[in-house]
Amino acid sequence: MDGRDGARDVLILACGALAREILAVIAPARLEHIRVQCLPATLHNRPERIAPAVRAALTEFEGQYSKVFVAYADCGTGGELDRVLAEAGVERLPGAHCYAFFSGVDAFAATEDADMRSFFLTDFLARSFEALVWEGLGLDRHPELRDAYFGHYERVVFLAQTEDAELTAMARAAAERLGLAFERRLTGYGDLGHAIGAL
């Protein structure tokens, strides 16, 4: 999807962890005027790099699209992403993180107290648990760190975007590996679907 021929005049700069979900929203809605450009999903583990990466991408694509939308929540940037987007006049997904917008920001806020000791997985994180969580946090080399990272959690909550038995099994296995209880909640695409559909 080129976008420079005038047929696709909206650019979504997206977290690579959302690529599959964004394409799942775009395809059935036939939103052919949208181009998706993903930044590396590994930024999920380095939130201090998100705002600079988004700023560089905004500069790269400046003037090429009639509208740019950023498919990130704050994602641990501490407001830095919002400062970058305010300078560029660009909007982003609602909420503090993907768990909130998949659940629906209001619904997530309503359960924050009850979920305070929950570790969340999305479809992407269930699929990428080994690389992003287990290896990404060094638990493959230092399993003794499990208690330091996860000792205060009580359960893994799998926020499922799709009905997928294999992903549910992966999420359940991740919970077992972390020594935590398991809960699955089917969220669908939540506020992500609404935000992309509005483009």
| Full set of structural domains in the chain with CATH | 10-93 (3.40.50), 105-186 (no CATH)
- pLDDT tens column, 27-64: 877 778 889 999 999 898 899 999 999 999 999 999 99
pLDDT the model gives residue 156: 98
pLDDT the model gives residue 3: 39
- Does the structure show a pLDDT above 80 at 123? yes
Q: How confident is the model at residue 2 (pLDDT cuts 50, 70, 90)?
A: very low
- Does the structure show a pLDDT above 60 at 88? yes
Please give the backbone phi and psi of residue 37, each rounded to the nearest 5 degrees, phi first.
-120, 115
pLDDT the model gives residue 69: 96
Q: What is the mean pLDDT of residues 2-10?
A: 54
This prediction has a pTM of 0.87
Q: What is the mean pLDDT of residues 8-19?
A: 90
Q: How confident is the model at residue 148 (pLDDT cuts 50, 70, 90)?
A: very high
